[in-house]
């Protein structure tokens, strides 16, 4: 994916989704996209370029703008050039923030206040761009946490995050009584 963020990686993700949706128990009308870190980047990118495939998005600790990531991330200033090349125009082209005006699905942005890998401004800039564009967007920030919230954050914050995830998807991909009954019947077979 070096120099090709948002291309071959997208092809891989959408190919897996297409295969999954061939199953009779999967509903193309009830698909959400969710990811953290590089998966957060992919969530933002997919929402901008393939938002018609998803009902809603949940993006955590994402890189959304390579211009400000370079020099502010603890990973080192060399990272962007190593993975995207040295052309600032390419950095802009491969930044989800550039395409925020294309995102029309409900979009949750989750970030940690002390994330030095993907600094919090990555979340703030995306949130502002989405809200300015009229997209339904929510921003959830965890104080005192870093990039590893889901793995090594304070237990109460991990619990709050999980509750928020379940609430978000309950709102945007609700399970109907018919779906629950069908699921119960399928599991008893």
3-state DSSP assignment of residue 139:
strand
Long-range pairs, 148-153, Cβ under 8 A, ≥24: 149/60, 149/61, 149/112, 149/115, 150/36, 150/60, 153/112
Out of 37, 49, 50, 68, pick the active-site residue: 37
Quote the CA–CA distance of 25 and 172 in Å, as a whole number: 19
Out of 91, 111, 147, 172, pick the active-site residue: 147
Quote the CA–CA distance of 168 and 116 in Å, as a whole number: 26
Q: Are 135 and 79 contacting, i.e. CB atoms less than 8 angstroms apart? A: no
Give yes or no: 37 in active site. Answer: yes
Phi, psi of 97 (to 5 degrees): -55, -30
Q: How many CB atoms lie within 10 A of CB 95?
A: 26
Give yes or no: 147 in active site. Answer: yes
Active site residues: 37, 147
């Amino acid at each position: 994916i070096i120099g090709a963020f948002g291309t071959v990686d997208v092809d891989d993700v959408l190919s897996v989704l297409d295969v999954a949706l061939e199953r009779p128990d999967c509903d193309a009308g009830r698909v959400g996209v969710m990811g953290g870190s590089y998966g957060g980047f992919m969530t933002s990118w997919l929402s901008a370029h393939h938002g018609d495939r998803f009902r809603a998005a949940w993006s955590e600790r994402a890189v959304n703008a390579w211009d400000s990531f370079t020099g502010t991330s603890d990973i080192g200033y060399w990272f962007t050039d190593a993975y995207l090349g040295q052309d600032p125009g390419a950095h802009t082209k491969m930044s989800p923030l550039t395409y925020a005006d294309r995102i029309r699905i409900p979009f949750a942005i989750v970030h940690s206040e002390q994330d030095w890998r993907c600094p919090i401004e990555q979340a703030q800039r995306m949130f502002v761009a989405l809200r300015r564009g009229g997209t339904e967007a929510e921003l959830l920030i965890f104080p005192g946490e870093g990039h590893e919230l889901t793995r090594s954050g304070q237990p109460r914050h991990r619990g709050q995050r999980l509750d928020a995830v379940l609430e978000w998807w309950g709102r945007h991909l609700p399970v109907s009584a018919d779906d629950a009954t069908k699921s119960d019947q399928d599991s008893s077979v």
